[in-house]
C-alpha cells in the first residue's frame, strides 16, 4: 500500500512489511484516529516493519494508541502484535474463539470480543462482526459512522480468499451473506487495494463460490475423483507453487458438500452421493 494514505477523515492505511506471498499483495494494516486510536492488524513479526509502523503511528496519533484490533490470528496479520504492544501498551482485541491461538504470537489478548460488541474510540464506534470462514475466529470491524468495513482475509482486494484448514466454506458463504445486511461504502481488505463497490464485490464472491460448488458436483458426477484430480481439472494451468492452496480450497468445498449429504468419501476419492 502507499505510505501515509488517508482513506477517510481520521482513517489511514499503514505501510507494512514489503514481504508478500509469491509476489501477491503484502498485508494491509489500518489506523483509526479520534481522540485515541486503534490499529487494525499489524503485519508480520518483523522488527524493521514494526518500527516503521510505530513511527507512522507516532506521527498520526502520538501517545494515543489504545487498541490493536486483530481480524484473525495469522502471522501476516497478528505477527507484529507483541512489538507494537511492548512499545505502546495498547490493548490487544481478539475474538473469543481466537484467544488460545493469540498466544502463538507471544501475546495474551487483553479484550475478548464477540459478534455485535462495540469498541469505542472517543466516539468512533467499531462494531465487531463475527465472520467465520477463512478461519473460525475471523472478524470484520465496521466503522458505522463512516460506513467502512475492515475485512481482514474475509474479503481481499483481488481474487478470492483461501478457506484455511481451520476455516469452513459453508460458514464463509453465510458470513458473506450476513455482510449484505450492512450499509458499506468502502471495504478495507487484509490484502490488496480498497474495494469501492462493496455490495458488488460481496455478491461476486458468493456467486463464484456457488459456481465452483456446482462445477465440483458436475465433475464428481462423472466418477470418483481425488482432490488432486479435481484441482488438475479445475486449474489445468495452475502454477505448481499454488497447488497446495488450491487443494485446500477444493477440500473446503468438498467438506461443505459432505456436510450437506451431497458428496461421499470412498477410499481417497470422492463421489456424488446417490
What pLDDT was estimated at residue 174?
98
What pLDDT was estimated at residue 19?
54
Examine the pLDDT at 252 and tell me if it is beyond 50.
yes
Task: State the chain's mean pLDDT as an integer.
Answer: 91
The whole-number average pLDDT for the span 236-244 is 90
Q: Identify the CATH assignment for 223-272 out of 1.10.10, 2.20.28, 2.40.160, 1.10.150.
A: 1.10.10
What pLDDT was estimated at residue 165?
84
Phi-psi region at 63: left, alpha or beta (left = phi > 0; alpha = psi -120 to 50):
left
User: Which residue in this structure is represented by grid cell 509476489?
Assistant: 23
What pLDDT was estimated at residue 18?
56
Task: Answer yes or no: CATH 3.90.1200.10 is held by domain 5-196.
Answer: no
Query: Which residues is 14 bridged to in the sheet?
Result: 29
Domain coordinates in residue numbering, the chain: 5-196, 223-272
Q: Kindly state the percentage of the chain with pLDDT values over 90.
A: 71
What pLDDT was estimated at residue 22?
57
Cell numbers that stand for 92 in this block: 490487544
Least confident segment among 100-104, 125-129, 250-254: 100-104
Count the helix, strand and coil residues of the chain and give each as a percent rounded to the nearest 5.
Answer: 35, 25, 40
Which residues, in sequence order, are CB contacts of 41 under 8 Å at separation 6+? 27, 28, 29, 30, 69, 70, 71, 77, 78, 152, 190
Local confidence band at 138 (pLDDT 50, 70, 90 cut-offs): very high
The whole-number average pLDDT for the span 24-48 is 87
Which residues, in sequence order, are CB contacts of 29 under 8 Å at separation 6+? 13, 14, 16, 39, 40, 41, 42, 43, 53
Local confidence band at 172 (pLDDT 50, 70, 90 cut-offs): very high
Instruction: Record the pTM.
Output: 0.93
Examine the pLDDT at 1 and tell me if it is beyond 50.
no
Beta strands in the chain (DSSP E): 5-8, 11-14, 29-33, 37-40, 65-69, 91-95, 111-113, 118-121, 124-130, 139-143, 148-152, 186-189, 263-266, 269-272
Local confidence band at 47 (pLDDT 50, 70, 90 cut-offs): low
User: Which residue in this structure is represented by grid cell 490499529?
Assistant: 39
What pLDDT was estimated at residue 26?
83
Distance, C-alpha 154 to centroid of its chain: 4
Kindly report, residue by residue over 71-123, the tens digit of the pLDDT.
Answer: 999 888 888 899 899 889 999 999 999 999 988 888 899 999 999 999 999 99
Residue 264's φ and ψ, nearest 5 degrees, are -125, 150
What pLDDT was estimated at residue 54?
81
What is the spatial distance between Cα 37 and Cα 51, in angstroms, rounded to a whole number? Answer: 17
Local confidence band at 219 (pLDDT 50, 70, 90 cut-offs): very high
Amino acid at each position: 500500500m502507499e505510505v501515509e494514505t488517508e482513506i477517510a477523515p481520521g482513517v489511514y492505511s499503514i505501510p507494512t512489511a514489503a514481504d508478500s506471498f509469491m509476489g501477491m499483495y503484502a498485508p494491509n494494516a489500518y489506523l483509526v484516529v479520534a481522540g485515541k486510536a486503534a490499529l487494525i492488524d499489524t503485519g508480520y513479526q518483523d522488527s524493521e516493519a514494526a518500527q516503521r509502523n510505530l513511527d507512522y503511528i507516532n506521527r498520526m496519533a502520538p501517545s494515543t494508541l489504545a487498541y490493536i484490533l486483530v481480524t484473525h490470528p495469522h502471522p501476516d496479520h497478528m505477527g507484529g502484535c507483541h512489538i507494537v504492544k511492548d512499545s505502546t501498551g495498547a490493548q490487544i482485541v481478539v475474538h473469543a474463539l481466537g484467544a488460545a491461538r493469540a498466544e502463538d504470537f507471544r501475546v495474551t489478548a487483553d479484550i475478548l470480543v464477540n459478534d455485535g460488541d462495540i469498541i469505542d474510540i472517543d466516539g468512533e464506534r467499531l462494531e465487531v462482526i463475527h465472520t467465520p470462514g477463512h478461519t473460525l475466529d475471523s472478524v470484520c470491524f465496521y466503522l458505522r459512522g463512516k460506513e467502512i468495513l475492515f475485512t481482514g482475509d474475509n474479503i481481499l482486494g483481488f481474487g478470492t480468499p483461501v478457506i484455511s484448514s481451520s476455516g469452513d466454506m459453508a460458514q464463509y458463504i453465510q458470513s458473506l451473506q450476513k455482510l449484505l445486511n450492512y450499509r458499506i461504502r468502502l471495504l478495507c481488505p487484509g490484502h490488496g487495494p480498497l474495494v469501492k463497490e462493496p455490495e458488488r464485490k460481496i455478491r461476486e464472491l458468493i456467486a463464484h463460490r456457488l459456481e465452483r460448488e456446482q462445477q465440483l458436483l458436475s465433475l464428481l458426477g462423472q466418477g470418483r475423483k481425488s482432490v488432486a484430480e479435481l484441482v488438475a481439472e479445475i486449474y489445468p494451468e495452475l502454477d505448481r507453487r499454488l497447488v497446495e492452496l488450491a487443494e485446500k480450497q477444493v477440500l473446503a468445498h468438498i467438506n461443505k458438500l459432505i456436510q450437506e449429504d451431497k458428496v461421499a468419501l470412498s477410499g481417497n476419492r470422492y463421489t456424488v452421493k446417490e
